[in-house]
Structure 1
C-alpha cells in the first residue's frame, strides 16, 4: 500500500530546520482554495463571518443533558505559530458541545475516494474528552432538528481519550439486513491518538477498492480493507455459510471419547476400601530414656515473688513453670510416627478405555446463509450534507483547523504540506524556545490564556465519573469478548479487580465496626481481678513463660509491675 507523500517531507523538514531559530511573528497566509476541486470542502476559519456557516447547537434532551458548551474562532493560546491564524475552539470545560457546517455541495462517495483531514490541538491537554468529526446525512439538520447525538451520520473519525481508553475512532454506519436496522460498524483495533499540546494532523482515506488508511501527521498508522475478516465489529458482510439451526444430533450418534471398561465391571475381591491412607509405623520404637510418667514442665523452685506483687490486687502469686530438666530425651505420652499405608487403595472406580465406536464431536451441517448479502461500504448509503463536532470534554480550548473533505488524496497531502508542516515546525520551535527561556512563550499568550480553574469538588466528581465510565466500558468489552479483552488489556483487569476487592474489604470492615458498636458488651466487674488463679490460668502462665523465654522479656513484668510504674510516674 502506498505510504503518504506528506510523511517524507515532514521528516526531512524537521531534521533540516530543527536547530534554526524561526520567527514566531510570521504572518498567516491563507491556503489558495483554487488549487482544490470545486466539490472539495476546505475550512481555515480565516473569515469573520464564520458563524454564518458554522451553527452552534442548543439541543436539549432534559434538565441534565443540554448542549450548553460555547464555541469561538480565535488564535491559538499555546505555542502559536502564525499571527492571525485562527481556528475553531471548544471553550467550555466539562460541558456538551455541538456545532455543524452545511456543505456547499452534498458529498456523494459513490464509486469514489473519501479523504477526510483536519488538525487538532489540545492546548490544555486532553485527560478525558473527544475531538472527533462526524459526516452527517444530508437533510438531517433543520430548524426543527438541531444537531445532537441522535443526528444520523455516515462516518465518524477522530481521537477520543478518557483515562486509559485512548483511540482514534473510525465508525461507518450501515443498514444491516441481518438485523434490519442501521448499526455502527467500529474499527476493531483502532490506533492510539497523539498526546501533545501542539497541532496534530489526522487523515482518513477510504478507497473504492475498500482499502482504508489512517494517518497521523502524514504517517500511515493503520491500514487495511473494510471487508477483511476481523477488521470491523460487527463485520460489513455476514458469513456465506452458517450452521443449520434445524439440524438435530441423531440419537445414535456416539460422541463419547472414553467408555467404562466392560472387562472390569466389578470391584476385585481383594480391594479393601477401608484401609486408611496413613498408618502408624510398626518399626518405630520409643527412644531410650523417654520418661512416660514425667511432666514436661515443673515449678521453678528458685523463682521469687516480686516485691511489687500485691496478693489482694493481683491474686495469689504462683511460681512460673520451667522445662523439666529430666526430659532431655522426652516426657509424656509417646506415639509412633505415621507412614503411607502400602495397602491403601481408596474407593474403587471402574476403569475407562477409548471408545471403539467414537464418531467425533457432532456439528450441525453447514448451509448457505439465507441472510447473506454483499456490501460495498466505501459507497456511503446516504449523501453527506454537513460536517459536525458533537463532543464532551473535561478540558477546554481544543483547537480545530484546516478541515478538508474531498475525493482526492493528493489534495489532502497538498494541504498538509502547505499548511500543517510549516505550522508544526514553528510550534516545535516555540516549545524549544520556551524551554530554553524557562518561562512562558510570550506575555500575550499568558494574558490571553483563559486558564479555567474548577472547584475541587467538581474535579473530584469528574475524576470519579471518568473512572466509573472507564470501568463500565471495560466491563462491557469484557462481557462481549472476555479472552480478547483480558489478553490485550491485562493491566486494567488487575487494576479494576484490585480496587473492587479493596472496596469489598472496606465495606465488610465498616460493617463489622458498626455491628460491634451496636451490640452491647457485658460489663466487667473490678472484683474479677481480686481472685486466686485457677488451674487453667496456671497452665496459661506456663505457656506465657515459654513465650517469654523466646522473646527475652523479663518474667513477671505483669499488670502489677505496670501499675506500680504508673503510680510512680504520677
Structure 2
C-alpha cells in the first residue's frame, strides 16, 4: 500500500512540475506581466507531493524491514486448570487501564514537605495496561506497564484466597519482567504481605505492614545487582521483625539484552530447601538452615562472649618488643638537627635589612564603634611592605636551610619477638541466655494475602506479566512452557534477524601486513571515501528503525528538491538561451539594415544626368587613345 501511494505521489509530482513549466511565460513581454501568485498553489501541491512521497517510501521501507511484525501470532487464550488456591494473573481480562487499577491498587498516601509545606505523593510513579513495543511476541499481549522512571513505584492487589505456607507445603512464585529501556538503578522485585483490606492498601507506606517474603531482581551498581530473596521473622526475645536476606544471591539479569526474563522461587517448608531459577534455569540452590547462607541467621548462636570477663593484667598482647640488650652506638649523635643554615648562601646586594617587612595597612582607619577604653588601643593590621617586592627582600636576612649530613635522629633499639606473647585476648564464651532457634524457617508466620510491587523505578516502560503464586512446581512449569518459552523464542528470533541485518555493516578484521606492504602506494581518495561511507552506514544501521525511516525520508525529500531545482534551472536556461538567440538575430538584422542605410543616402545625392555626362567623356577619351 505504501508503495502504491509513493508511485502516485511521484507521478503527481512530475505532472505538477510540468504544469508549472507550462505556465511559466516564454517571452520577455509576457514575463513583464507574469505574476508568481498564479503558480504558488501548484508549487505548494508539488512540495506536498514530495513530502507524501518521502513518507510513503519511508513507511514502505519500515513495512519491509518490519515485515516479521505482520507475522506476529495472536495471543490465544490459555486453557490451563489450576488448583483453587493458586493465583494466576496474565493481565488479559482488563480492557483499559482504569479497569486494571480497580484491582491493582496504588497507594495514595501523601508526604508533606516541612520546608515548603507542599504535599506530594509517596509513590508518584504511574502504571498502565500496555503491550510491548520493542520486542513483541504476541498480538494483544497486555502487560502491567510502569510508565515512569526515576521515581518511587508501588502497586499491589489483594488475594481472594490467602495462601498458607507451612506443614510441609511449598511456596512457588513466578513472574516475567521485560525491560524496554536500559536500567541504571532500579528494581522489579515483589513483596508478599499478610492479608489486608483495600483501604489499608491505599494507605500503604512501606514499613507500615512488614512483608513475609521479598523476591525479585534489583540492580543499582555498585551497590547491588542480584535477585533478592528474604524472609521476615519475629525475634522471640525483642519481639521485633527481622529480615533474613540471602547472601551471595544470583545476578539480577537486568543488564543483558531487552528480552523477557522469568524469575521463579521454590521454597519447601518440609525440607527447608529453596531454589531460584532465572529463565527456567536453576541459578541458586540451598537450605534455609545452612549456617552463613542468610544474614542474620534464622537462629541465634548457642554461645556468646562473656561481657563480664576482663583481660588479666599479666596478659601480654605484644607480638614484638624492643631488644632490651641493645645499646646505642657511640657515634650516634641525637643532638644534631635535621636542617642547618647553608654556609655557601650569600645575602643579595639589594637586600635592605633596615626596611621593615610588614607595615600597618595605610588605607585602614579605626572603626567608629571602636572605644579605646573598652577595646584597648586600636592598631591597624599589618600587611606586606610593597617596597620589598621591588628589591631582593627586606627585613632581617637569614641563609636558606639545607639537610644536615650529620643528622642521625633519635635512636631506637631493634625489635625482637616477645617471649611472653600470648596472643590477642578474647572474652570466654558462655551459654547464650537469649538463645532461640527456628528449625522450620520455611513456615511463614502469616498467610500471604497481598501481592505488592514496591521499588525504585529505574527504567521507563518496564513490563510485568504472567504472575503465578501457588503451591505446585508443576503448575508454574506448565505456565512457563506455554507463555514464557514461546515468547522468549520469538524475541530471540527477532534479535537474531536484527543482528544478521546489521552484520553486513560490521567491519571485518584487517589482513595481516606482508613484507611488500611498505612498497605499496598510499590509498587513493576513492578508497578513503569508501571506508568513510562504510563507517557512516555502520552508524546508521545501529540506529533504531524509527530514526532510520526519518533519515531516509529526509534524504529522499532532499533528493527530490535538488532534482526539481536542477530541472527548473535547466528549463530556465533553455528558455533564456532561445530568447538570447532570437534577440541576437534581431540585433544582427538591425545592424545589417543600419549598414545599408548608410550607403543609400549617398547614392540618392548623385544626379543621373551627371552620371551620363561622365560616362560619355570617359568613352571619348578611350577612343582617342585607341586612335593614337
**TM-score, normalised by the number of residues in structure 1:** 0.56
C-alpha separation in 2, matches of 1:346 and 1:55: 76
Q: Deviations over 1:171-229 (max 9, x none)?
A: 22221345541122222222222233221111112222232222110112222223333
C-alpha separation in 1, matches of 2:91 and 2:201: 27
Q: Which residue of 1 aligns with 2:83?
A: 37
Q: Structure 1 residues 24, 400: closer, same or farther in 2, change over 3 A? A: farther
Q: Structure 1 residues 22, 93: closer, same or farther in 2, change over 3 A? A: closer
Q: Which residue of 1 aligns with 2:163?
A: 107
Q: Which residue of 1 aligns with 2:72?
A: 25
1:46 aligns with 2:64: no
SS in 2 for 1:389: strand
Q: Following TM superposition, by how much is the alpha carbon of 1:92 offset from its aligned partner in structure 2, in angstroms?
A: 2.5
- Give the alignment partner of residue 166 of structure 1, picking from 225, 228, 237: 225
RMSD: 3.6
Q: Following TM superposition, by how much is the alpha carbon of 1:276 offset from its aligned partner in structure 2, in angstroms?
A: 7.7
Q: Following TM superposition, by how much is the alpha carbon of 1:259 offset from its aligned partner in structure 2, in angstroms?
A: 5.3
Q: How does 1:109-258 map to 2 (within 5 A)?
A: 109-110=165-166, 111-139=168-196, 141-143=198-200, 146-150=203-207, 151-164=209-222, 165-177=224-236, 179-194=238-253, 195=255, 196-208=257-269, 209-258=271-320
8 A contact 1:188–1:233 mirrored in 2: yes
C-alpha separation in 2, matches of 1:135 and 1:163: 25
SS in 2 for 1:362: coil
Q: Following TM superposition, by how much is the alpha carbon of 1:39 offset from its aligned partner in structure 2, in angstroms?
A: 1.0
Q: Which residue of 2 aligns with 1:79?
A: 135
Q: Which residue of 1 aligns with 2:474?
A: 410
Q: Following TM superposition, by how much is the alpha carbon of 1:126 offset from its aligned partner in structure 2, in angstroms?
A: 2.1
Q: Which residue of 1 aligns with 2:510?
A: none
Q: Structure 1 residues 356, 210: closer, same or farther in 2, change over 3 A? A: same
C-alpha separation in 2, matches of 1:91 and 1:144: 21
Q: Structure 1 residues 171, 141: closer, same or farther in 2, change over 3 A? A: farther
1:428 aligns with 2:492: yes
SS in 2 for 1:81: coil
- Give the alignment partner of residue 390 of structure 1, picking from 424, 433, 454: 454
C-alpha separation in 2, matches of 1:61 and 1:275: 70
Give unmatched runs, 5+ long, in structure 1: 1-20, 279-337, 448-570
Q: Structure 1 residues 414, 440: closer, same or farther in 2, change over 3 A? A: farther
8 A contact 1:277–1:340 mirrored in 2: no
1:377 aligns with 2:377: no
Q: Deviations over 1:148-171 (max 9, x none)?
A: 422321111112223544222222
Q: How does 1:279-290 map to 2 (within 5 A)?
A: none
Q: How does 1:142-541 map to 2 (within 5 A)?
A: 142-143=199-200, 146-150=203-207, 151-164=209-222, 165-177=224-236, 179-194=238-253, 195=255, 196-208=257-269, 209-258=271-320, 267=327, 272-273=332-333, 349=412, 354-375=417-438, 376-435=440-499, 436=501
Q: Which residue of 2 aligns with 1:544?
A: none
Q: Deviations over 1:448-484 (max 9, x none)?
A: xxxxxxxxxxxxxxxxxxxxxxxxxxxxxxxxxxxxx
SS in 1 for 2:262: strand
SS in 2 for 1:411: helix
C-alpha separation in 2, matches of 1:226 and 1:276: 68
C-alpha separation in 2, matches of 1:76 and 1:348: 77
SS in 1 for 2:244: strand
Residue correspondences, number: 362
Q: Structure 1 residues 142, 360: closer, same or farther in 2, change over 3 A? A: same
Q: Following TM superposition, by how much is the alpha carbon of 1:59 offset from its aligned partner in structure 2, in angstroms?
A: 2.2
- Give the alignment partner of residue 55 of structure 1, picking from 92, 105, 108: 105
C-alpha separation in 2, matches of 1:361 and 1:156: 41
8 A contact 1:123–1:398 mirrored in 2: yes
Bigger fraction of residues in helix: 2
SS in 1 for 2:111: coil
Q: Structure 1 residues 235, 272: closer, same or farther in 2, change over 3 A? A: same
Q: Structure 1 residues 92, 272: closer, same or farther in 2, change over 3 A? A: closer
SS in 2 for 1:89: strand
Higher relative contact order (CA 8 A, sep 6+): 1
Q: Structure 1 residues 140, 229: closer, same or farther in 2, change over 3 A? A: farther
Q: Following TM superposition, by how much is the alpha carbon of 1:432 offset from its aligned partner in structure 2, in angstroms?
A: 3.3
Moved more, 239-248 or 22-31: 22-31
The structure that has the greater radius of gyration is: 2
